[in-house]
């Protein structure tokens, strides 16, 4: 066995040196042959890195929503005609709905209604976009996994008393008070003064709607007690609004979420008489769907990018066939002095493997650089995963070997006598 290994290595090393010599003798042709593999591998790596970055951001956002949570979002009317049509069937999302859900839906560990306002006036004047006000219950902090990094969140007593206190999101604190510590300071929303008692930590934000959840900078929010929002900020708001515009529910177990979502939908459909003026969001179901979508997306991207690798493989085959024609006399000489068919096959396969390996390495480096450049210029999140590099590299080598097999077999099949007389 050791002798066989030594014999194989003794045959392989000279062929390897000969392969490098032949490729160096035709540098430009070898480089052009590699280009198809380089661009193919780079396309696979770059596409998968862009897809992985986008999907990870969405999935992190969904996970932040909480896999044990259910969210009811009101579909509020955008014009008077639609508003009147919906109101003939439904009163919109109300505190009555909130109480009915709590009374009839089992397994709820925490719940909060939400009343959202867009202030018409803020003092101090914010730098940049004006923060949005969320009127919520104290339970919202645990439901939304909201971390208070400075100060405290308001409690039940603040809610019952409609206390004029607020917790600022990270971006809202910076917009209103700059680099100053906002805790303890006062600010004015419309005609009401509030005292900042805490600052919330950073949250993941998406630029587009996700399954009924409107796109919003979740760091540019002002959280106030629910009744403070209802009683202190109600005046001046549009009449085309529901009594509340959101309900957050946290279940005791993630296993209860699918059945609870179905029951919740049934309860609201009955009370709203199938008006279709609400959306139920189940982050657990969204996460599972997003993972399925990611797998399909990755397969499609790999299939598209593999076309480039296929073209590169065809290029290798064409060049190697031309090389067989050019080196017909060389092959005849080798066969005449005792080289076997498998020796000739090995020689040409080594050359195609070198081209594929070099193209694969350069393609991976190009793909990583390309994904970083796209992320920098477009502002996208890109993630180069190990498996995408391994996949692209292995596919490039496999294509090189497959498309190099035919030229190698054709070279080995040449008649030595005719090859020696070939001009």
- Its pTM stands at 0.66
423's tokens: 């001009």
Give the tokens for residue 330: 């060389």
Statement: residue 238 has pLDDT above 70: no
Say what the pLDDT of residue 416 is: 66
pLDDT at position 122, please?
Answer: 92
| pLDDT interval class at 195 (50, 70, 90) | very high
How does pLDDT run across 67-106, given as a tens digit for each residue?
788 989 888 777 777 777 877 888 888 999 999 999 999 8
Give CA–CA dist 387/309, Å, rounded.
17
Amino acid 8: pLDDT: 47
**Share above pLDDT 90 across residues of the chain, in percent, rounded to a whole number:** 24
Please check the confidence at residue 158 and state whether its pLDDT lies above 90.
yes
With CA atoms as reference, report the closest residue to 293 among 59, 75, 25.
Answer: 59
C-alpha pair distances (Å), 368 with each of 46, 341, 398: 7, 40, 21
């Amino acid at each position: 066995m050791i002798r066989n290994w030594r014999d194989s290595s003794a045959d392989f090393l000279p062929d390897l040196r000969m392969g490098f010599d032949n490729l160096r003798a035709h540098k430009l042709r070898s480089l052009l042959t590699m280009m198809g593999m380089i661009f193919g591998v780079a396309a696979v790596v770059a596409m998968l890195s862009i897809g992985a970055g986008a999907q990870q951001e969405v999935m992190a956002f969904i996970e932040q929503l909480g896999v044990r949570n259910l969210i009811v979002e009101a579909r509020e009317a955008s014009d008077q005609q639609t508003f009147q049509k919906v109101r003939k069937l439904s009163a919109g999302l109300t505190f009555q709905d909130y109480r009915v859900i709590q009374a009839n839906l089992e397994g709820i560990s925490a719940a909060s209604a939400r009343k959202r306002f867009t202030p018409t006036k803020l003092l101090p004047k914010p730098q940049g976009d004006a923060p949005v006000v969320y009127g919520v219950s104290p339970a919202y902090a645990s439901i939304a996994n909201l971390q208070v990094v400075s100060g405290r969140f308001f409690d039940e007593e603040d809610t019952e008393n409609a206390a004029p206190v607020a917790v600022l999101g990270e971006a809202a604190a910076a917009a209103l008070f700059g680099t100053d510590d906002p805790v303890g300071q006062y600010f004015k929303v419309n005609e009401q003064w509030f005292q900042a008692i805490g600052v919330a930590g950073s949250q993941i934000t998406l630029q587009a709607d996700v399954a009924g959840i409107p796109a919003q900078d979740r760091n540019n929010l002002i959280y106030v007690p629910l009744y403070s929002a209802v009683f202190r900020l109600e005046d001046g708001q549009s009449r085309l609004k529901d009594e509340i515009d959101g309900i957050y529910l946290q279940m005791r177990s993630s296993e209860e979420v699918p059945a609870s979502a179905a029951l919740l939908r049934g309860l609201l459909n009955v009370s709203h008489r199938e008006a279709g003026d609400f959306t139920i969001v189940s982050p657990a179901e969204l996460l599972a769907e997003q993972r399925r979508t990611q797998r399909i997306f990755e397969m499609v991207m790999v299939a598209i990018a593999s076309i480039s690798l296929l073209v590169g493989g065809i290029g290798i085959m064409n060049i190697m066939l031309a090389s067989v024609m050019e080196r017909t006399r060389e092959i005849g000489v080798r066969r005449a002095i005792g080289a076997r068919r498998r020796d000739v096959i090995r020689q040409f396969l080594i050359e195609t493997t070198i081209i594929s390996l070099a193209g694969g390495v350069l393609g991976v480096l190009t793909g990583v650089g390309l994904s970083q450049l796209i992320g920098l210029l477009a502002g996208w999140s890109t993630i180069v995963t190990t498996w995408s590099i391994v996949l692209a590299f292995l596919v490039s080598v496999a294509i090189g070997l497959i498309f190099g097999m035919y030229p190698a077999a054709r070279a080995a099949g040449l008649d030595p006598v005719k090859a020696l007389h070939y001009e």
